[in-house]
């Protein structure tokens, strides 16, 4: 039975439940062979903080603290279980574990969970954790799984939704606390995998939930939680008609059309000042619009990848290649489209800027997390 459950979990976890050390070694050797880099680089400078554990995801708070999901697998009775830890750290490495995964999964009814995404409230006091859970159902040890968002305070205590007969956050993703600290906005999937979504809110103290902007649906949403707002790319049901760029008032449930879009493939972002937005027009062409004059736009060919805006708003940092794979980081100038290697063209799994732009966090190919002052790698 142990082998049966282990194989099932490995399939669910993309194989990570089996021999994680061997996987890390193989990944490291592959990247060394496929992506050679200089012997000395700026990234060899001492970072302000390194989390040496195998990190699954991380997120900066508005106050620059970092929430970090750390992957863990345990043998318990006849099962192999995953129960990720959650840590909170300052940029200089003063850290505290607020969730110990082993205590949650080593129970009479074994379960597993993995942390996929983390977001912070505007006041840096609360978190929303999107995770996948795995449970054994029935006497035949049938494995079931599901996704949900869990609300926590900064000490790791669950914040329950009062008065709700069923948890409205089951299946909800990309959740954010709004400015009042009492309301959570989130997406639910209409077309898989995350190709079309609806927007909902729930009031934690009462359990009241609402579907907003019905019948409008969205292919990409970026929250402006401190202002209880969002910018989104909207599509009608069935993906018919043109895409529209819209601004959304999440408290009043009102929307304003900003521009019709000839084409849009998602990954919508907003600049740190909130004055411009960008999204992929097609596979490698970025469309940038000024929200003051949203009918006007420019196109910049940047290549396939995941990107974030620099604080100067004249550059983006792009991780080249598919989002789920490691790649090198490149500065791309806007609107010129010039490429400059970042971090001496090293290969990374993921990265994020802090909200104020002072820090950059990078997940290395071995999944440990390094935090640097972003000024050390300015474009």
Model pLDDT, residue 139: 64
CA distance linking residue 303 with residue 301, whole number of Å: 6
Structure tokens at 211: 């579907």
The strand pairing partners of 329, in sequence order, are 319
What pLDDT is stored for residue 138 in this prediction?
A: 67
Q: Distance between CA atoms of 11 and 377, rounded to whole angstroms?
A: 38
Q: What are the structure tokens assigned to 142, written together?
A: 């049938």
Kind plus residue range of the DSSP H or E element containing 4: helix 2-12
pLDDT tens for the 379 residues of the chain, in order: 333 333 334 333 333 333 444 434 444 444 434 433 333 344 456 899 999 999 999 999 999 999 999 998 888 778 888 899 999 999 999 999 999 988 877 667 778 999 999 999 999 999 999 999 988 776 666 778 899 999 999 999 999 999 988 899 999 999 999 999 999 999 999 988 888 999 999 999 999 999 999 999 999 999 999 999 999 999 887 677 789 999 999 999 999 999 999 999 999 999 999 999 999 999 899 999 999 999 999 999 999 899 999 999 999 999 999 988 999 999 999 999 999 999 877 899 999 999 999 999 999 999 999 999 988 777 8
Q: How far apart are CA 354 and CA 59, in angstroms?
A: 8
105 vs 10: CA distance, rounded Å = 16
């Amino acid at each position: 039975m142990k082998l049966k459950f282990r194989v099932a979990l490995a399939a669910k976890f993309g194989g990570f439940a089996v021999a994680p050390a061997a996987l890390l070694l193989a990944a490291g050797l592959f990247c060394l062979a496929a992506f050679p880099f200089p012997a000395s680089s700026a990234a060899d400078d001492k970072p302000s903080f390194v989390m040496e554990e195998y990190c699954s995801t991380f997120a900066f708070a508005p106050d620059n603290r970092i929430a970090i999901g750390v992957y863990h697998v345990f043998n318990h009775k006849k099962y192999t279980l995953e129960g990720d830890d959650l840590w909170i750290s300052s940029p200089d490495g003063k850290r505290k574990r607020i969730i110990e995964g082993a205590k949650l999964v080593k129970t009479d009814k074994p379960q597993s969970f993995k942390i996929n995404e983390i977001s912070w409230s505007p006041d840096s006091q609360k978190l929303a954790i999107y995770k996948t859970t795995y449970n054994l159902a029935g006497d035949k040890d049938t494995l079931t799984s599901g996704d949900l968002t869990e609300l926590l305070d900064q000490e790791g205590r669950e914040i329950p939704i009062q008065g709700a007969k069923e948890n409205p956050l089951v299946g909800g993703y990309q959740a954010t606390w709004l400015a009042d600290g009492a309301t959570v906005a989130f997406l639910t999937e209409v077309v898989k995998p995350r190709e079309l979504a609806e927007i909902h809110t729930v009031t934690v103290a009462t359990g009241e939930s609402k579907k907003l902007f019905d019948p409008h649906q969205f292919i990409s949403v970026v929250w402006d939680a401190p202002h209880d707002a969002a910018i989104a790319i909207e599509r009608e049901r069935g993906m018919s008609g043109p895409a529209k760029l819209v601004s959304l008032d999440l408290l009043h449930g009102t929307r304003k059309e900003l521009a019709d879009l000839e084409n849009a493939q998602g990954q919508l972002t907003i600049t740190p000042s909130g004055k411009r937005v960008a999204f992929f027009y097609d596979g490698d062409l970025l469309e940038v619009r000024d929200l003051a004059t949203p009918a006007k736009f420019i196109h910049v060919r940047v290549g396939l990848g995941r990107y974030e805006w620099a604080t100067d708003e004249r550059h983006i940092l792009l991780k080249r290649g598919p989002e789920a794979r490691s790649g090198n980081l490149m500065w791309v100038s806007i609107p010129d489209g010039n490429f400059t290697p970042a971090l001496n063209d090293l290969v990374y799994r993921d990265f994020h800027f802090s909200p104020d732009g002072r820090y950059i966090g990078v997940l290395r190919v071995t999944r440990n997390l390094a935090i640097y002052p972003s000024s050390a790698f300015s474009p």
